[in-house]
Amino acid sequence: MKASLVLLLFCSFSLLGQKLPKKLSETDFTIGKTISIQSKILKEERVLNVYLPQHYSADSTKTYPVIYLLDGSKDEDFIHIAGIVQFGSFSWINMLPETIVVGIANVDRKRDFTYPSQNSLDQEEFPTSGKSAHFIQFLEEELQPFIAANFKTSEEKTLIGQSLGGLLATEILLKKPELFDNYVIVSPSLWWDDEKLLNAATPFFASSKSIFIAGGKEGEVMERTAKALYTKLKQQQDEKTRIFYEFLEDKDHGDALHIAVYHAFEKIFGSQKNTQ
């Protein structure tokens, strides 16, 4: 009986093996490049994840806009944001042009994405915080020139930041707005430093800007401050400044980014098409 059962199992596995297709080849599947650079400003190595459009060619004269993604590690937001960019740039979708995505992998986001807070609880809970000025300098003086020198980039630059990354994106928008043309600010941590960033003067935008602010069901402070930022900026809106706001009632702090970015691309790049 046991011998018959073993023979039956052997025959079954043999038949199963005969039905499987023969593997002809196997290669790794990648969606971009990972580049390490040495930052003199930050005094450390930084890792960049770069998505290049399907038709990108170093030999072509065509140039591409660039999206800079905070929280851009492989295990953070890089893969799914690059996926939205790829999907949106398909010719049959045509939501945005073919675009390079530069994901900036984190070393210490609490350090890099925050300016110094006068709130003692902030200082206690975020002991390494307060170095955003150095990170902004890194973006301006090292990262953007490096990307421009190594890839075929156009002048248009977009910044995406969520949570503390949204706080940093807001700081850049208010203090150095010309670093980027488009800002996608999702669930910004504007509670930082007793909400003082909301009191900063709204700058005059010398060039065209598209600004998309969004948040989900994230509690009174997060919801109120995101809406307050929109209201503050809305007063600055003119013919060359487009400002959008969306409250994602069915999303929370953990899952608002993906759909917010999709909607941001629809609004920002759709608005650009309509003005051309």
Q: What is the pLDDT along the chain (276 residues), one digit of tens a residue?
A: 555 555 555 555 555 556 899 999 999 998 999 999 999 999 999 999 999 999 899 889 999 999 999 999 999 999 999 999 999 999 999 999 999 999 999 999 999 999 999 999 999 999 999 999 999 999 999 999 999 999 999 999 999 999 999 999 999 999 999 999 999 999 999 999 999 999 999 998 989 999 999 999 999 999 999 999 999 999 877 888 999 999 999 999 999 999 999 999 999 998 555 444
The size of the chain, in residues, is: 276
Maximum Cα interatomic distance, the chain, rounded to a whole number of Å: 88
* Burial (Cβ within 10 Å: 0-12, 13-18, ≥19) of residue 3: exposed
**141 CB-side CA count, 13 A:** 11
Q: How far is 180 from 208, CA to CA, in rounded Å? A: 10
Q: How far is 161 from 184, CA to CA, in rounded Å? A: 6
| The predicted structure's pLDDT at residue 275 | 45
| The predicted structure's pLDDT at residue 274 | 46
Name the DSSP class of 141: I
Q: How far is 53 from 99, CA to CA, in rounded Å? A: 6
Distance between first and last Cα of the chain: 80
Q: How far is 172 from 164, CA to CA, in rounded Å? A: 12
Phi, psi values for residue 168, rounded to 5°: -65, -45
Instruction: Answer for the pair 129, 122: CB distance below 8 angstroms, yes or no.
Output: yes
Beta strand 153-162 pairing with 241-248: unpaired
Phi, psi values for residue 131, rounded to 5°: -110, 25
| The predicted structure's pLDDT at residue 251 | 95
Alpha helices in the chain, H assignment, sequence order: 2-19, 78-88, 109-112, 120-125, 132-138, 144-150, 164-175, 192-195, 220-234, 256-274
Among 228, 233, 112, CA closest to 165:
112
Q: Report the SS3 class of residue 219.
A: coil
Q: What DSSP assignment string belongs to 173-216?
A: HHH-GGG-SEEEEES--TTHHHHGGGGSPPPP-SS-EEEEEEEE
Nearest-Å Rg of the Cα atoms of the chain is 23
Cβ neighbours of 260 (radius 10 Å): 24
Q: How far is 134 from 151, CA to CA, in rounded Å? A: 24
